[in-house]
A and B are shown apart, each in its own frame.
Chain A
């Protein structure tokens, strides 16, 4: 008996290796199909990730990674002791907070409202209009804003004057940077999130609403007790993704809004990376700054994911 038992695992191992080989061979064309995509991810996503080692070097392009000397955490020290570091970090975090506070609830509310519209035609119409800006580039969004907000003939300032107020310098003054920023974000992205929530709402069993009405629940209570809980998972997943996202996506947008007058509030980590890296050619230092930011973003996502799981929700992984 023991002999057979000893022989069996070996036989099983041999069988599964040869089965594996057979499967690999049978699927060989599938692997060929995967090859270009895998190459793409390796070259343009993973090699840059490994390239982050230059954060610990004094990278010189002509010396390459292997030739440049190592400086350990020098760049990170430099970052944390930089006089503007806290300002830049807080600018970034404030925009992040504004996003979560003012932008994030909007698609949810819009989806709830759209769901209550009875006419399919108007539902479609409003949806179509509201997520139109999502497909415009940030350049278009900011350009339209510029044309409307400029002190030099922009419609908003003209209206202000007509109403008896004085003109506001939306584009240059530091005080107006954040409101302008968040309004643009809402304008552009609210509609997009709405689609996703609407899809989740669409799968709710109508019987639940019927039962609630029987029990005397009005529209608002139905929303609070049926609709919202049903989309809770989607909200949480999107929230986690947003957290991972926000430290990333602001760059194109903020870069367009940034100018010498509002730099004190508009300079965020990514614009700082761009300036020091590509304008001033300080590759290692800027890579270190970018690394810091990406790492923080990842930690935030992991924390948020764990928190969500603690509350009984599915995380994103």
Chain B
């Protein structure tokens, strides 16, 4: 970066910095506010005594939301979906990405075109729903995973990454008698760890955020992942207990309870975020996006 010591240059830098700091602050303040609000009593929130740091600390909200099995069940669904989904997606995506990275493959261009085309046009919500229905996947957990098993975007990134691995390595492995699967699992994948890690995290975050698939394909409320439960509680302001949602005597959840559920729904992402961050900073992915 070229230094610019003139007055105009330094003023520019200061204003630039200040504005960016403001933007960064505004971006995270809502999160901080919600986390803070979840660790206090509702009385304090109602008294509006603070914004960012609670004056009275309390675990009431968390005690309440974990007092029934509803939240646990939703979390289990979400965790299960995320683990299984990420594994399956990574398997399918890596296999296909590697296959498509081989330049001497006949039909490669056709398949790539078919993949890219799905990014521009698709059958839409209703036909996809009907396919899922015909496959008998309604009200199954598989419906949360299979319809979005491969993301074309991730596939292309991984394919480009594999393509950048020097041919020499694969060729010498072939000469040594290594099978195609062997090359993939013993040479290409170990060399691609940054990309694999990043794409896995992409998938994991997507699966954790599963919401629309659940709304479309699941009718039973016991099968809800956590995002659907979150919406139920915060946006629709219904209670934590499904059976009581028809009971108008149950009061809507309090602010601190809503905030606590938001925190629970967000926490895993915040935990993996530093790892994601590391790979972005490396720019490991960005060269492949350009491709």
Contacts and interface: CB of A to CB of B under 8 A. Distances in A.
B124 A287 contact: yes
B122 interface: yes
Interface stretch (A81-89, A90-98, A191-199): A191-199
A244 interface: yes
18 contacts: A27-B106, A30-B105, A30-B180, A33-B180, A37-B96, A40-B146, A46-B114, A51-B131, A117-B17, A126-B21, A146-B235, A147-B258, A187-B27, A199-B289, A219-B8, A252-B212, A256-B235, A295-B121
Interface residues of B, number: 100
Given A29-B181, A51-B127, A196-B289, A294 B16 contact: no
Among all A-B residue pairs, the 7 with the closest Cβ atoms: A48-B123, A37-B96, A290-B124, A137-B209, A51-B127, A199-B286, A48-B127
A10 interface: no
Nearest to A112: B16
B209 A283 contact: no
Interface of A: 20, 23-24, 27, 29-31, 33-34, 36-38, 40-41, 43-52, 54, 61, 110, 113-114, 116-118, 122, 124-130, 132-133, 135-140, 142-148, 152-153, 155, 158, 187, 191, 195-196, 199-200, 202, 206, 209-210, 213, 218-220, 244, 251-252, 255-256, 270, 273-274, 277-278, 283, 286-287, 290-291, 293-295, 297-298, 301, 317
B211 interface: yes
Contacts of B180: 27, 29-30, 33
A76 B181 CA distance: 50
Nearest to B23: A130
Interface string B17-60: 10111011101101101100100000001101001000000000
Summarize B's interface: helix, strand, loop or mixed. Answer: helix
Contacts of B276: 135
A132 B12 contact: no
B126 A129 contact: no
Interface string B109-120: 001001110111
Given A43-B135, A244-B120, 17 more contacts: A27-B106, A34-B96, A37-B99, A40-B150, A44-B146, A48-B128, A51-B123, A61-B130, A117-B16, A138-B211, A139-B228, A139-B231, A142-B231, A143-B262, A155-B48, A277-B129, A283-B130
A114 B1 CA distance: 12
B30 A144 contact: yes
Contacts, number: 275
A34 B97 CA distance: 8
Given A27-B105, A117-B16, A136 B209 contact: yes
Nearest to A191: B27
A220 B259 CA distance: 43
Nearest to A116: B16
Interface of B: 1-4, 6, 8-9, 12-13, 16-17, 19-21, 23-25, 27-28, 30-31, 33-34, 37, 45-46, 48, 51, 91-93, 95-96, 98-100, 102, 104-106, 111, 114-116, 118-131, 133, 135, 146-147, 149-150, 155, 179-181, 184, 205, 208-209, 211-212, 215-216, 227-228, 230-231, 234-235, 255, 258-259, 261-262, 265-266, 269, 273, 276-277, 280-281, 283, 286-287, 289-290
A124 B274 CA distance: 12
Contacts of A252: 211-212
Given A110-B23, A135-B269, A155-B51, A317 B127 contact: no
